[in-house]
């Protein structure tokens, strides 16, 4: 058994492992390995000349914490599972990065695995059904969304909610290509996939109410919001105490491991 950083000749084998473990579209896989893959940032475990497990890492910066690393594509070849190989990779990484925090956004059924290995949950996300929003209808006229608008609102949200990961250009390109963006004004945004707004931000209550009205008018069914943010406050304003208890579905967010004390309410977005 060998634990090592990848080299360029491992690319094809790592792509094959990703295909076998994850149900990603081929276009996404090709983009990831073209834009994100760096052999020196991929840690793998080799057993008898075969890549048995691997995890991709890349450096991240943030608001509210020091530099860290983000993990994606943690995968174990099905033929080598239940042998502790991913645990060995994670322990190796913890030693390699020293005091830097490690972030990831795991599949829901894998959260327990990471919790047992020292990871804790970041900020809670909430899912709200727009059928319950009774705010006044808003005008559908809005400026064409720009990447600059969205980035600015995202940064303001990080500052307001206590911190989170900064996205680089590649991360934004992945996110915006996988979703459509709408803005009600230059002071809010929503990223939409299907009938759900998967990420939202507003800089005050007025903008939050306008955005919720716009999303409902568009025919969206659900909106994902940050606990404690302005959209959360706007919804709570129009509800009784009994309604507040039953109106939100809690969604798990990102997780992190840190050797230093960190606020567990830190906002962690899925990022590539």
**256's tokens:** 């992190």
- Per-residue confidence (pLDDT) for residue 79, from 0 to 100: 93
The Cα–Cα gap between 268 and 126 comes to 14
CATH number of the CATH domain containing 24: 3.40.630.30
- Statement to judge: residues 155 and 44 lie in one domain: no
Residues of the chain with pLDDT under 50: none
Rounded to 5°, angle at Cα 178 from 173 and 184: 85
Residue 142: the pLDDT is: 66
How much is the pLDDT for 139? Answer: 63
The per-residue pLDDT for 63 is 86
Same structural domain, 186 and 102? no
- Same-domain status, 175 and 185: yes
Tell me which residue of 269, 245, 223 sits closest to 123, measured CA to CA: 269
Kindly state whether residues 141 and 241 are assigned to the same domain. yes
| Domain match, 189 and 118 both | no
The rounded distance, in Å, linking the Cα atoms of 232 and 128 is 9
- Fill in the DSSP letter of residue 254: -
Mark whether 186 and 74 lie in a shared domain: no
pTM (2 decimals)?
0.90
pLDDT in tens, 115-161: 999 999 988 889 999 999 988 766 656 677 788 889 888 988 888 88
Looking at residue 137, what is its pLDDT?
64
Number of structural domains (the chain) is: 2
Q: Do 193 and 83 reside in the same domain of the chain?
A: no
Q: Give domain status of residue 157, yes or no.
A: yes
| Cβ–Cβ < 8 Å for 167, 271 | yes
Determine the structural domain holding residue 58 and report its residue range: 2-123
Is 103 in contact with 255 (CB distance < 8 Å)?
Answer: yes
- The three-state secondary structure class of 101 is coil
Parallel/antiparallel/unpaired status of strands 42-47 and 2-5: antiparallel
Give alpha helix (H) positions in the chain.
Answer: 11-21, 26-35, 85-97, 111-115, 147-161, 169-178, 205-217, 230-237, 241-246
**CATH code (residue 217):** 3.40.630
């Amino acid at each position: 058994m060998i634990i090592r950083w990848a080299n360029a000749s491992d690319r094809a084998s790592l792509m094959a492992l990703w295909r076998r473990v994850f149900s990603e579209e081929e276009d996404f896989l090709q983009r990831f390995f073209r834009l994100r893959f760096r052999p020196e940032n991929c840690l793998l475990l080799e057993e008898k000349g075969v890549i048995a497990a691997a995890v991709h890492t890349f450096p991240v910066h943030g608001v509210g914490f020091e530099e860290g690393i983000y993990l994606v594509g943690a995968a174990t070849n099905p033929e080598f599972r239940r042998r502790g190989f991913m645990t060995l990779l994670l322990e190796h990484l913890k030693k390699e990065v020293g005091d830097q925090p490690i972030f990831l956004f795991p599949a829901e059924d894998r959260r327990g695995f990471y919790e047992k290995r020292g990871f804790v949950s970041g900020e809670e996300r909430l899912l709200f059904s727009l059928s319950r929003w009774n705010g006044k209808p808003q005008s559908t006229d809005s400026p064409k969304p720009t990447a600059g608008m969205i980035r600015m609102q995202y940064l303001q949200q990080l500052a307001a909610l206590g911190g989170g990961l900064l996205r680089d250009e590649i991360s934004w390109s992945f996110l915006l290509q996988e979703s459509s963006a709408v803005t009600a004004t230059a002071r809010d945004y929503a990223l939409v996939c299907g009938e759900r707004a998967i990420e939202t931000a507003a800089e005050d209550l007025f903008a939050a109410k306008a955005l919720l009205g716009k999303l409902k008018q568009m025919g969206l069914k659900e909106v994902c919001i940050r606990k404690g943010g302005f959209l959360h406050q706007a919804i709570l304003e129009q509800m009784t105490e009994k309604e507040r208890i039953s109106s939100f579905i809690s969604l798990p967010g990102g997780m992190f491991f840190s050797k230093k004390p960190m606020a567990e309410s830190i906002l962690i977005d899925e990022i590539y």
